[in-house]
A and B are shown apart, each in its own frame.
Chain A
Amino acid sequence: MRCRASWQYLNGTGRLWWWSLFLVILGFSFRISQVDVKSLIGGLYQSWALGREMLPPDFSRWKQVLTLAAETVAMGFWGTILGILISVPLGFLAARNTAKNYLIYQLAKTLVTLLRSIPDVIYAFFFVTAFGLGPQAGVAALTLATVGLLGKFYAEAVESIDEKPVEALAAAGSRGLSVIRHAIVPQVLPLFMGYNLYLLDHNIRVALALGVVGAGGLGVELFTQMRGFHYQKAAAILVIILVIITAIDRVSAYLRNRIIKGGFLHPGNRLPDAALLAAIGVLTLISIYFMPVDFKEMAAGAPRIWEFLKGMFPPDFSRISVYLKLMLETVGMGISGTFLAMALAIPLGVLAARNVSHNPVIYNLAKEITNFLRAIPDLVFALIFVVAVGLGPFAGVLALGLNTAGFLGKFYAEAIENVDPKPVEAVEATGARFLQRIGHAIFPQVLPLFNSYNLYILDRNIRYSTIMGLVGAGGIGFELVMTSRMFEYRQMAAMLLVILTTILLVDWLSAYLRKRVV
């Protein structure tokens, strides 16, 4: 029985209690991340002022910007390709039914889990420190992040196959790789291709932001222009980023639609395959032409990573109390950012839900705002807010809050669009006002979904709050940059361990909460 935690069951006192607990957590996390009403209003004004300085966008450097944009896309492409190459063997090793050796299975699985829990930007930072500035750090970071995601997806796909063909082949005397090739690959190939496409989409978006920490691509240019006070030039780059992300959205929505309709990758269905091949072909040509990295050089750099890793040992925990304090601030930022996102997403989600938002102007406006917030990576927001409201955790809270308000707004709107309309009409028939209908007929229906989305975003924001400091937006990330500039790699290692431990702890906690509350 999970209903004991159900909000609807609570009477007035019970609700009051929960509201108070909520407010206490809210107050506490706002305090440690230095958010208050005055700074919120001030921040609004300062962002407005910065926004005015950014207009109109200055496209005079469009040649360089477009070249960098192509390079960014190529980074995403090659990161995905390398990630796929590593994930294929790793995925089979991390799947229960194909891993022969239990120890290897557990190792592969743990490796994938670890790779997945660390934010991509941390990898980028690490490789920038090890390799130096430039796109090869970005490609390497994307590769690791891809392996974390794809390794899991592949393993799950392999574990969910139909075992009968496998047994038949085994009975006929085939073994090992031969069984995989003839009985498993045909079954999982369509799934694998779907995941690869998803990762390609994901990686191009991430690549746009990685440059902000120096890992190549358009982000580097954005960083340079923001820091050089060339706000109109920076605005032009933002516009390009938005255009690229919107284009990716459109193309992948089109392809997803094809997959759902079953036309995709099916023998005998030429047309969608042609569209897909064309899209991939263009992308490949761009990625080869604007080759961001020299793979030979990258391979030659591998020993340097080893040297670098050796230099990090043993980790130096002498300043652990400082790290813990900063980590607390970081977690506070993640929580505050999530609260901010929820506060923004509730009106956005309601107004962007077709079944309750009847005014077409308001509906489309809410939807476009949500899309916009979702499209701008949080690190890019952070870069902007650091300029607008100054260094410190407040900029990070705004960045996390705005970006994830876009995600939550979309999730909320979809949840609201799927409610049962019958009780909503019944409550409207009593003469209830709009807000009362939301509170009484819609909110109770969507609450479990909202809770699970909130938890997911909270988990994600705490993870990503660790990277906000890389651009000066508060938390432990800033200290990470400082120690790396002073070549204190052993201290850096200690900090990375603190970050990793916190992330794993939060992962575990949110999995636990998910089971209990949702």
Chain B
Amino acid sequence: MVRVTNLRKHFNGHKVLAGINFRVRKGEAVALIGPSGSGKTTLIRTINGFVIPDAGTIAVGGQEIKYRNPESLRQARKKIGMIYQLFNLVERTSVQVNVMAGALGRLDRGLSLLSSTLGFFTRQEREKARELLGFVGLEDKVRERVDRLSGGQKQRVAIARALMQEPELLLADEPIANLDPKASKKIMELLLRINQEKKITLITVLHHLDSVRDHFGRVIALKEGAICFDAATRTLNDHRVQDIYSIEEEFACVAAQAGSI
């Protein structure tokens, strides 16, 4: 489903991604961990085309992402849903209008382009938005303004917006970093349910190792822009966690990576 090959990126001389290679199969759920500044967000943003890599390729669903071709990039983004730490909703509008944004990529031609730009949608699309809001547990908030919702509710709206795209791949960058433990648990359960029931591939950046252990079968760890662990979650013991988050013992990291391939 996702194939990342030799991915490199640097920002003003500072190496952020130093040759990343991995594959994610269709329907898989992967947790991406690593210390702050290790390049997790950068990696996620290269997958949906907001960061252009210096070298290497990414293919999603067999299609290579062409960063220089806006139309092809847009087609690629249509099938990738994205969940953010700060939800990134349009605060002043209603829940429903925010969810409808997920349909825009589909309504990209002729009359439907015009009407969707002006905020008119077909009954079918509106029904679908309502149905998805039911799925994430917000059926009674359809007309509520987003700025009146709690953090957990906002993240549900964002998830419904992503689902509205009918994505093949769902990316989430620290989706629960701004939520309380209870809401965090519910959001993680919701994401995993989507992964299992709808067979949508899921890649999530997480800082809570407990959540990682509870929910994910596979973990990829980044350290200083390189993958230093990529294996089943059960093999992630305390010693390896120390390796990932410690700064000195680089050789241990290399060893762990060699072991996992």
Q: Residues of A at under 8 Å CB distance from B?
A: 3, 6, 8-9, 12, 15, 420, 422-423, 425-433, 435-436, 438-441, 444-445, 447-448
Binds A, one of B35-43, B93-101, B190-198, B252-260: B93-101
Expressed in whole angstroms, the Cα–Cα distance for A428 and B73 within the complex equals: 11
Residue B177 interfacial (CB < 8 Å):
no
Is residue B218 contacting chain A, with contact meaning CB distance below 8 A?
A: no
A-B contact pairs, 12 of them (CB 8 A): A12-B121, A15-B118, A15-B119, A422-B88, A425-B88, A429-B80, A430-B78, A430-B164, A431-B78, A435-B113, A436-B116, A439-B119
- Bound: A420/B146 CA distance, A: 15
Provide the B49-83 mask, 1 if CB < 8 A to any CB of A, else 0: 01000000000000000000000001111111110
By a beta-carbon cutoff of 8 Å, the part of chain B in contact with chain A is 48, 50, 74-82, 84, 86, 88-94, 97, 100-102, 104-105, 107-108, 113, 116-121, 143, 145, 158, 161-162, 164-165
Nearest CB in chain B to that of A447: its residue: B92
Q: Report the separation of the CA atoms of residues A439 and B50 in the bound assembly, to the nearest whole angstrom.
A: 21
| Contact yes or no, B97 A8, CB < 8 A | yes
Q: Which B residues are CB-close (under 8 A) to A428?
A: 77
Give the complex CA separation of A351 and B204 in angstroms: 36
A431/B74 contact (C-beta < 8 A), A425-B50, A436-B116, A440-B101 known: yes
**Bound complex: CA of A235 vs CA of B120, how far in Å?**
47
Q: Which residue of A lies closest to B144 (CB)?
A: A9
Contact A444 B102 (CB under 8 A): no
Number of A-B contacts (CB under 8 A): 102
| B25 CB to nearest chain A CB (Å) | 23
Shortest 10 CB-CB contacts between residues of A and residues of B: A431-B105, A431-B78, A426-B88, A432-B104, A8-B93, A439-B117, A431-B77, A422-B88, A436-B104, A429-B82
Residue of B102, B119, B164 ringed by the most chain A CB atoms within 10 A:
B119
Could you tell me the distance in whole angstroms from the C-beta of A422 to the nearest C-beta in chain B?
4
Q: Distance (Å) between the CB of A434 and the closest chain B CB? A: 9
Q: What chain A residues lie within 8 Å of B108 (beta carbons)?
A: 431-433, 436
By a CB distance below 8 angstroms, the chain A residues around B86 are: 422
Known contacts A430-B165, A431-B77; A445/B90 CB under 8 A: yes
Neighbouring B residues of A422 by C-beta, 8 Å: 84, 86, 88
Which residues of B lie under 8 Å from residue A436 when comparing CB positions? Answer: 104, 107-108, 113, 116-117
Whether A441 contacts B101 in the complex (CB less than 8 A), given A422-B88, A429-B80, comes out as: yes
* Whole-angstrom CA separation of A8 from B74 in the bound complex: 26
